[in-house]
Amino acid sequence: MDVEQPKEFLLSIEGLSVSFDGFKAVNDLSLYVEENEIRVIIGPNGAGKTTVLDLICGRTRATEGSIRFRGKELTKLREHEIVHAGVGRKFQNPSIYEDLTVFENLELSFPRGRSVLGALTFRRDAEVINRVEEIAEMIFLKDHLETDAAILSHGQKQWLEIGMLLIQSPELLMLDEPVAGMSVSERLKTAELLNTIIKKHSVIVIEHDMKFVEDIAHRVTVLHQGKVLSEGSMERVQSDPKVIEVYLGH
């Protein structure tokens, strides 16, 4: 048996690498996330941010290295098993079911009836309805439950997808550019939403919007060429000469 992970680390990534036809998108990366932390990952295009999330949630398979979540090795699990372990993932472009209503979108993410038989015998009981309404309230879509997801605004779609994660009650949420394409007011509401969320969940966010990052981040990790370039508080990272070099150099 492995030694129990130190309590403070919810997620620990060690020596993670992946290469696509020789190109190392992530190279010997190590990263630790604590319980109830908001961690923001930033970095220039092609730094490997999205790939890291892909690796954690099993969308891409690591070439080497380990990802441990609450002491569980994720690199060997399949996507849905990782979800069952408590990791939720939001995609860069809002990924929701456009042909279904907001209610149905949330209902499908409700963590019950996830097997074939379960889905066939699933009943929309009071528990489900209450939970859906509760989440809808959180994500500001209480009045749109019967709306087709296709006609929501871009920002609302982003919220809906966050809601779909929340209803799964994951311990770790991973959000890829959650405020991209949002108006200023939507952005503020999203920050507010995230701040509610971290009371119960840990969050990893990829974001470009520095203002937003400042609003929410506990700690910031800067990726560059698949490696951690710098890590720490926003101020520390911003004053790190290596970071300045990467962002402003060339």
Partner 1 sequence: MIGDYTYTEFTSILAMQGFAGLTLFSVFVLMALGLAIIFGQMGVINMAHGEFMILGAYMTYLCSQFFSVYLPSLFSIYFFFAMILAFAASFLLGMLVEWGLIRFLYRRPLDTLLATWGLSLILQQAYRSIFGAREVGVTLPDWLMGSIALTDIIEIPINGLFVMGLTALITLGVYFGMFRSNWGKRMRAVVQNRTMAGAVGINTKMVDRMTFGLGCGIAGIAGSAFTMIGSTGPTAGQLYIVDTFLIVVFGGAGSLIGTIASAFSISQAQSTIEFFLSGSMAKVLTLLTVVGILMLRPQGLFTLKIRR
Partner 2 sequence: MSPALFLFRKREWIYFAILAFVLVIVFPSLFDNFRLNLIGKYLTYSFVALGLVLCWGYGGILSLGQGIFFGLGGYCMAMFLKLEASTPEATAIQSTPGIPDFMDWNQITSLPFWWEPFHSFTFTLFATIAVPVALAFIISVAMFKRRVGGVYFAIITQAIAAILTILIIGQQGYTGGVNGITDLRTLLGWDIRSDNARYVFYFICVALLLVSLIVAQFIRISKFGRLLIAMRDKEDRVRFSGYDVANFKIFIFCLAAALSAIGGAMFTLQVGFMSPSFVGIVPSIEMVIFCAVGGRLSIFGAIYGALLVNAAKTSLSETFPELWLFAMGGLFIAVVMVFPEGVAGLYRQHIEPLIVRGTSLLRIGKVRKPRPAAE
Residue ranges in contact with partner 1 by CB under 8 A: 20-21, 25, 51, 54, 59-60
Q: How far is the CB of 168 from partner 1 (least distance, A)?
A: 22
3 binds, among partner 1, partner 2, none (CB under 5 to 8 A by kind): none
As measured in angstroms, the least distance from the Cβ of 246 to partner 2 is 30
**Residue 25: contacted member of partner 2, partner 1, none (CB under 5 to 8 Å, by partner type):** partner 1
Nearer residue to partner 2 within complex by CB, 57 or 217: 57
Smallest separation, CB 112 to partner 2 (Å):
9
CB of 120 to partner 2, least distance (A): 5
Closest to partner 2 by CB, 161 or 186? 161
Residues interacting with partner 2, by CB under 8 A? 57, 59, 78-80, 83-84, 88-89, 91, 95-100, 104, 107-109, 111, 113-116, 119-122, 148, 161, 164, 168
For residues 174 and 220, which CB has a smaller minimum distance to partner 2 in the complex? Answer: 174
> Is residue 24 a contact partner of residue 17, using CB atoms and an 8 Å limit?
yes
Residue 96 binds which entry of partner 2, partner 1, none, with Cβ cut-offs from 5 to 8 Å by kind? partner 2
b or e along 224-244 (b: 16 or more beta carbons within 10 Å of the residue's beta carbon)?
A: bebbbbbbeebeebbebeebe
d(CA 177, CA 165) in angstroms, rounded, equals 15
- The span from the CA of 144 to the CA of 142, in Å, is 6
Strand 64-69, strand 9-20: pairing? antiparallel
Three-state DSSP state, 81: helix
Q: Minimum CB separation from partner 2 for residue 92, in Å? A: 12
21 binds, among partner 2, partner 1, none (CB under 5 to 8 A by kind): partner 1
> Which residue matches tokens 């990829």?
206
Nearer to partner 1, 54 or 161 (CB): 54
- Residue 20 burial (CB count, 10 A): 10
The kind and range of the H/E element at 140 are: none
132 within 8 A of 190, measured Cβ to Cβ? no
Residue type, 195: N
